[in-house]
Amino acid sequence: MHPLLKLFVMPLVAATALQAVAQTDPWNAGRLQVAAMSVERLKAVYLACDRAATQHVLPPGVAQHCSLVGEELKQRHFDGSFDKLIEWWRAEKRKAEAAARVDPPRDDELPPV
Protein backbone atom coordinates (compact mmCIF):
# COMPACT_ATOMS: atom_id res chain seq x y z
CA MET A 1 0.00 0.00 0.00
CA HIS A 2 1.24 3.47 -0.88
CA PRO A 3 2.42 5.46 2.19
CA LEU A 4 0.07 8.39 1.51
CA LEU A 5 -2.81 6.01 1.12
CA LYS A 6 -2.01 4.54 4.54
CA LEU A 7 -1.94 8.04 6.00
CA PHE A 8 -5.51 8.75 4.89
CA VAL A 9 -7.15 5.33 4.72
CA MET A 10 -6.06 3.88 8.06
CA PRO A 11 -7.56 6.67 10.20
CA LEU A 12 -10.78 6.40 8.20
CA VAL A 13 -10.93 2.66 8.78
CA ALA A 14 -10.29 3.16 12.51
CA ALA A 15 -12.97 5.85 12.77
CA THR A 16 -15.46 3.63 10.96
CA ALA A 17 -14.70 0.75 13.32
CA LEU A 18 -15.17 3.01 16.38
CA GLN A 19 -18.47 4.28 15.01
CA ALA A 20 -19.66 0.71 14.46
CA VAL A 21 -18.77 -0.20 18.03
CA ALA A 22 -20.52 2.92 19.34
CA GLN A 23 -23.71 2.02 17.47
CA THR A 24 -23.83 -1.52 18.79
CA ASP A 25 -22.66 -0.82 22.34
CA PRO A 26 -24.06 2.28 24.09
CA TRP A 27 -21.56 1.90 26.95
CA ASN A 28 -18.66 2.31 24.51
CA ALA A 29 -20.44 5.21 22.81
CA GLY A 30 -20.60 6.98 26.16
CA ARG A 31 -16.96 6.21 26.84
CA LEU A 32 -15.94 7.73 23.50
CA GLN A 33 -17.96 10.88 24.23
CA VAL A 34 -16.47 11.24 27.71
CA ALA A 35 -12.94 10.54 26.47
CA ALA A 36 -13.26 13.53 24.12
CA MET A 37 -14.04 15.95 26.99
CA SER A 38 -11.40 18.29 28.40
CA VAL A 39 -10.45 17.89 32.05
CA GLU A 40 -12.19 21.18 32.86
CA ARG A 41 -15.37 19.92 31.22
CA LEU A 42 -15.10 16.60 33.07
CA LYS A 43 -14.84 18.52 36.36
CA ALA A 44 -17.88 20.66 35.55
CA VAL A 45 -19.98 17.66 34.53
CA TYR A 46 -18.86 15.67 37.58
CA LEU A 47 -19.97 18.47 39.90
CA ALA A 48 -23.26 18.86 38.02
CA CYS A 49 -23.84 15.12 38.42
CA ASP A 50 -23.18 15.42 42.14
CA ARG A 51 -25.65 18.30 42.51
CA ALA A 52 -28.31 16.41 40.56
CA ALA A 53 -27.78 13.23 42.56
CA THR A 54 -28.27 15.10 45.84
CA GLN A 55 -31.65 16.36 44.64
CA HIS A 56 -33.18 13.22 43.12
CA VAL A 57 -32.48 9.69 41.95
CA LEU A 58 -30.71 9.80 38.62
CA PRO A 59 -32.20 7.85 35.72
CA PRO A 60 -30.02 4.83 34.81
CA GLY A 61 -28.60 6.39 31.63
CA VAL A 62 -27.65 9.58 33.44
CA ALA A 63 -26.13 7.65 36.34
CA GLN A 64 -24.10 5.60 33.85
CA HIS A 65 -22.86 8.77 32.13
CA CYS A 66 -21.93 10.33 35.48
CA SER A 67 -20.04 7.16 36.41
CA LEU A 68 -18.08 7.31 33.16
CA VAL A 69 -17.26 10.98 33.77
CA GLY A 70 -16.02 10.24 37.29
CA GLU A 71 -13.84 7.37 36.12
CA GLU A 72 -12.36 9.40 33.25
CA LEU A 73 -11.66 12.34 35.54
CA LYS A 74 -10.05 10.08 38.13
CA GLN A 75 -7.78 8.47 35.55
CA ARG A 76 -6.80 11.57 33.58
CA HIS A 77 -6.50 14.24 36.25
CA PHE A 78 -5.95 12.40 39.52
CA ASP A 79 -3.57 9.67 38.31
CA GLY A 80 -6.18 6.99 39.01
CA SER A 81 -6.40 7.96 42.69
CA PHE A 82 -9.92 7.86 44.11
CA ASP A 83 -8.61 9.57 47.27
CA LYS A 84 -7.33 12.54 45.23
CA LEU A 85 -10.66 12.76 43.39
CA ILE A 86 -12.59 12.80 46.66
CA GLU A 87 -10.22 15.36 48.18
CA TRP A 88 -10.82 17.68 45.20
CA TRP A 89 -14.60 17.05 45.33
CA ARG A 90 -14.74 17.91 49.04
CA ALA A 91 -12.80 21.14 48.45
CA GLU A 92 -15.22 22.08 45.64
CA LYS A 93 -18.20 21.37 47.90
CA ARG A 94 -16.72 23.61 50.60
CA LYS A 95 -16.20 26.41 48.05
CA ALA A 96 -19.79 26.10 46.82
CA GLU A 97 -21.15 26.12 50.38
CA ALA A 98 -19.08 29.20 51.26
CA ALA A 99 -20.26 30.99 48.13
CA ALA A 100 -23.89 30.15 48.98
CA ARG A 101 -23.45 31.66 52.46
CA VAL A 102 -21.97 34.85 51.01
CA ASP A 103 -24.51 35.15 48.19
CA PRO A 104 -27.50 32.91 48.95
CA PRO A 105 -29.83 32.13 46.06
CA ARG A 106 -32.96 34.24 45.70
CA ASP A 107 -36.35 32.55 45.85
CA ASP A 108 -36.78 32.93 42.09
CA GLU A 109 -33.50 31.04 41.54
CA LEU A 110 -34.61 27.96 43.46
CA PRO A 111 -36.45 25.07 41.81
CA PRO A 112 -40.15 24.75 42.62
CA VAL A 113 -41.00 22.46 45.53
Among candidate residues 35, 48, 30, the one with its CA nearest the CA of residue 96: 48
What Å distances lie between residue 48 and 25, 45, 83, 91, 93, CA to CA?
Answer: 25, 5, 20, 15, 11
pTM comes to 0.66
Cβ contacts of 30 within 8 Å, gap of 6 or more: 64, 65, 68
Per-residue confidence (pLDDT) for residue 99, from 0 to 100: 83
Q: At residue 59, does pLDDT exceed 60?
A: yes
Which pLDDT value is given to residue 4? 47
Query: What are the φ and ψ backbone dihedral angles of 59, each rounded to 5 degrees?
Result: -60, 155
More confident residue, 26 or 89: 89
Distance CA 41, CA 103 (A): 25
Predicted confidence (pLDDT) per residue in 4-52, tens digit:
444 454 555 555 555 554 555 555 777 888 999 999 999 999 999 999 9
**Do 80 and 88 form a contact (C-beta atoms < 8 A)?**
no
